[in-house]
Chains A and B, each alone.
Chain A
Amino acid sequence: MAENILKIEGLTKKYSERVLLNNIDLTVKKGEVVVILGPSGCGKSTLLRCINALEPIQGGKIFIDNDEITAKNAHLPLLRQRIGMVFQSYDLFSHLTVMGNILLAPCKVQKRDKKEVMKEAQEWLERVGLGKKANQYPRQLSGGEKQRVAIVRTLCMHPEILLLDEITAALDPEKVHEVLNVVLDLSKDGKTMVIVTHEMRFARAIADRIVFIDDGEIVEESNPEEFFTNPKTDRAKQFLSSFEYSNDKVGAE
């Protein structure tokens, strides 16, 4: 049996009196791609932010391998190096070039050799189709290009697990593809990923497992084929039907 990279036990997150996440249990195995779906505001982004300790939590434990990230004495910077996170708004550092953005953490945090990291970064950039952009500044790139750089920046830290938080939500529709193709490619490499997305076809194509969250609780957990063709719960059915358009107009004429 493959080892668990991520283990969440009884995670509870409240914001004043409102419960955002209620008693979440989730494990992710090495090499597994888990896609989290759910209506907006259901807490799926919050869940990812909790895994990276960007949000204080009110109950439960989160482990990366066997190290508890929620422990009081956890060395967060060290643990975060092992968790790669990509955000919806790319968040490249605007004063650095593409290469500068990628090099910063490996060189300053992991103290790796600059030449070696540069070589690796260049290989990644070429792989995601940005080989010629290394010396450009973020403002010179399109949204899709920025997001691919953000992914490379995270990958060069060699994280054990990648968290992707609605990475295509801010992109023009025609740019979504170029970013998602990169992610599909990574899944073929066997990267462990937890993905929050609104792209249903992408979710179906990439997921090993779908976790459906509603109202801060895991409502359904199943393989993608089953989830999309035959959801078990009414809430999941309702959610999936919201992505279809009825043809009322034609019928009315």
Chain B
Amino acid sequence: MPDLGLDILFKGNNFMRLLEGLFVAFKISMISVAISIPLGLVVGTLMTLNNKILKAVFNIYVNIVRIMPQLVLLYIVYFGASRLLDINVSGEVAAVIVFTFWGTAEMGDLVRGAMISIPKHQYESAESLGLVKSQVFAYVIIPQMVRRLIPLSINLITRMIKTTSLVLMIGVVEVLKVAQQIIEANRVSSPNGAFGVYLVVFILYFLVCWSISLFAKYLEKKWR
């Protein structure tokens, strides 16, 4: 059997370090989604008002998010903004800013879709029971929207976790960066280490994203 270089993982606390790196990736995406959801709710609600100016602004925004590679956005915020505005953002904060910028656009679009998909009659039957507008939203519309949105936003989380593999480019030590460090440090003693370590990174990403999407499927079924 060829040497896969798996032995490095058991040297020192290498495996723990990988898990810590994974946690950093997880943390960045979770914080970004947590901020994106309320912002997306606001943006999506504004979108349903059918205001032409708001629509145009949102269109430009969404297209910027779609067209720009996330890496370019990360560079703009991390290198560009710190020079221009003379503020020193850490890599992690820059990553959260970029991911939130991205997540808010996607959530806004999802919220808009979810709001449109709730039939007019749900509003009317709630109003005819004497609920005031704020109660209609609080007790009828938003709970139904959230049920539609949660599975979708969980999918956004998994995509963000995958994309965190880019943030090593702005100096954040996440799982992939840790993997590189481990491989570098053991270049002489186990030259085949790259395969084994990246294989483990692959499995880690897989386990996290797979279990999250299983959870999303479960919720989708439960609330159908």
Instruction: Check B128 against A89 for contact (C-beta < 8 Å).
Output: no
A139 touching B224 in the complex, CB below 8 Å, given contacts A77-B131, A78-B130? yes
A94 contacts partner chain B, Cβ-Cβ < 8 Å:
yes
A70 contacts partner chain B, Cβ-Cβ < 8 Å:
no
User: Mind listing 24 A-B residue pairs with CB under 8 Å?
Assistant: A77-B127, A78-B130, A80-B128, A80-B129, A83-B128, A85-B128, A87-B124, A89-B119, A91-B119, A91-B121, A91-B125, A93-B125, A95-B143, A95-B144, A95-B147, A95-B223, A104-B131, A105-B129, A105-B131, A108-B131, A108-B139, A109-B129, A109-B130, A150-B125
Instruction: Check A91 against B144 for contact (C-beta < 8 Å).
Output: no
B82 contacts partner chain A, Cβ-Cβ < 8 Å:
no
**A84 to B127 Cα, complex, angstroms:** 11
Give 13 new A-B contacts, CB below 8 A, not counting A54-B124, A108-B131: A52-B128, A76-B127, A77-B127, A80-B129, A91-B119, A93-B122, A93-B125, A93-B139, A94-B144, A104-B131, A109-B131, A153-B129, A157-B129
**A102 to B4 Cα, complex, angstroms:** 63
Write the B108-149 contact mask toward A (1 if CB under 8 angstroms, else 0).
000000000001011011111111100100011001100100
A109 touching B135 in the complex, CB below 8 Å, given contacts A89-B121, A93-B140? yes
Q: Measured between C-beta atoms, what is the minimum distance from A156 to chain B in Å? A: 10
Instruction: Check A77 against B144 for contact (C-beta < 8 Å).
Output: no
- Interface size counted on chain B using CB atoms at 8 A: 20
Report A66-122 residues with CB < 8 Å from chain B CB: 76-78, 80-81, 83-85, 87, 89, 91, 93-95, 104-105, 108-110
In the assembled complex, which residues on chain A have CB atoms less than 8 Å from the CB atom of B127? Answer: 54, 76-77, 80
Q: Measured between C-beta atoms, what is the minimum distance from A168 to chain B in Å? A: 16
Report A27-76 residues with CB < 8 Å from chain B CB: 52, 54, 76
Q: Measured between C-beta atoms, what is the minimum distance from A184 to chain B in Å? A: 23
Instruction: Check B129 against A104 for contact (C-beta < 8 Å).
Output: yes
**A33 to B15 Cα, complex, angstroms:** 77
In the assembled complex, which residues on chain A have CB atoms less than 8 Å from the CB atom of B131? Answer: 77, 104-105, 108-109
Report A135-172 residues with CB < 8 Å from chain B CB: 139, 150, 153-154, 157
In the assembled complex, which residues on chain B have CB atoms less than 8 Å from the CB atom of A52? Answer: 128
Q: Measured between C-beta atoms, what is the minimum distance from B133 to chain A in Å? A: 9
Interface centre among A81, A89, A95, A150 (most CB of B within 10 A): A95
A87 touching B125 in the complex, CB below 8 Å, given contacts A94-B144, A104-B139, A109-B135? yes
Instruction: Check A105 against B143 for contact (C-beta < 8 Å).
Output: no
In the assembled complex, which residues on chain B have CB atoms less than 8 Å from the CB atom of A78? Answer: 130
The 8 tightest CB contacts between A and B, nearest first, are A81-B130, A91-B125, A105-B129, A85-B128, A91-B121, A109-B130, A80-B130, A77-B132
In the assembled complex, which residues on chain B have CB atoms less than 8 Å from the CB atom of A89? Answer: 119, 121
Q: Which residue of B lies closest to A79 (CB)?
A: B130
